[in-house]
Amino acid sequence: MFPTRSRLADGREIIYFDDRRGRVPVPDPRDLPAVEPRCESRRDPLTGEWVTITAHRNTRTFLPPADQCPLCPGGPASEIPDPGYEVVSFENRFPSFSARTPGFARPEGSASRGVLDAVDGQELFPRMPGTGRCEVVCFTDDHDATLARLPLSRVRLVIEAWAERTSALSAMPEVEQVFVFENRGVEIGVTLHHPHGQIYGYPFVTPRTARMLERASAHRDATGGELFGDVLAAERAAGSRIVRAGEHWTVFVPAAARWPVEAHVMPHRHVPDLAGLTEDERDELAVLYRDLLRRCDALYGGPLPYVAGWHQAPVGEGRDLLRLHLQLFSIRRAPDKIKYLAGSESGMGAWINDVPPERVAERLRAAG
């Protein structure tokens, strides 16, 4: 993999990832104003969770026609000046988190790490700048392609780009956790159809990760075991929810799946993030991940709307507790039915799944 770095007209970084050397980036011809994001994180006193408020994102691009797609190369509306590319990552024009966010004045005597201010001056409502980093990762310059239908060499290059960006964002002083993910399908809420994903560098540890770290720590204290390794061993021993297994990875539907379609992809050894994978693990991941995406699309005879996200250990804590793994899920519960998050899920966080995980695993195996 050969990365080539450049800058867009407003100063944002863009990085091309190629299988060969020699790219000379085309200058961005646009006349763009400087990026001035306003990202602010406020902590909910009832849960301790951070909520990020980004008023500037309300004006972001929303489902433009194909000839105005900002991810197609070289067009008048394009974020990517070059006439073609393999894989490219660039700073989001409408970020949820950005190091360019202006800071607040730290209250006198405040010792809270990262907390720089309080809403209305009330100590119950601490807030801090939503510093961090958000990037868009384009998998191909083909507007009508999907990650599932790209050649293995391209999927492998995407994995290399994910790993490189995970390493780079993890080194930023304002980033506490890196999340690599893809949203696909209008039912999920995508705003661009072009095949792409995103990377978030959060300035805090996310709620789901914090909860997993708590569970992993309690499991180690109680049993001496590694929670994710023990879960994987139990799933492999049961066998009923295994979709496919390789030398380095296993694809399975979790026993307590929340979503109508859900699958996890987990490595056979403990590794905290994508950057820690070996060459052999990356090679096999390209095969198994593309295979899983194709199985998902075969479930209902067409593209499945999904979210696929890589759970990685935070930068500074729990790296011996949280094992890297992919969680893919879909809200589609039947060919013509969507699983909407209703009162129990949205209001109380108590999940109810209409589809038994064993049945989903069986159907995914049959769809291979």
C-alpha 54/C-alpha 7 separation (Å) is: 24
Handedness of CA 257, 262, 265, 271 (dihedral sign): negative
In the Cβ-directed half-sphere of 164, how many Cα atoms lie within 13 Å?
A: 20
C-alpha 310/C-alpha 23 separation (Å) is: 29
Q: To 5 degrees, how large is the angle CA 6–CA 10–CA 12?
A: 45
Give the number of other Cβ atoms within 10 Å of residue 2's Cβ. Answer: 13
Determine whether 194 is an active site residue. Answer: no
State the amino acid at position 113 in one-letter form.
R
Q: Is 231 exposed, middle or buried (0-12, 13-18, 19+ CB in 10 A)?
A: buried
From residue 332, alpha-carbon distances to 18, 28, 241, 359 in Å are 35, 40, 19, 14
Residue pair 16/90 in contact by the 8 Å Cβ criterion: no
| Phi-psi label, residue 51: left if phi above 0, alpha if psi -120 to 50, beta otherwise | beta
Question: Residues 56, 143, 196, 219: which is the catalytic one?
Answer: 196
In the Cβ-directed half-sphere of 174, how many Cα atoms lie within 13 Å?
A: 17
Strands 306-311 and 325-330: antiparallel
Q: What is the DSSP string of 9-49?
A: TTS-EEEEEESSS---PPPP----PPP----EEEE-TTT--
C-alpha 135/C-alpha 368 separation (Å) is: 32
Residue pair 358/241 in contact by the 8 Å Cβ criterion: yes
Catalytic residue numbers?
196
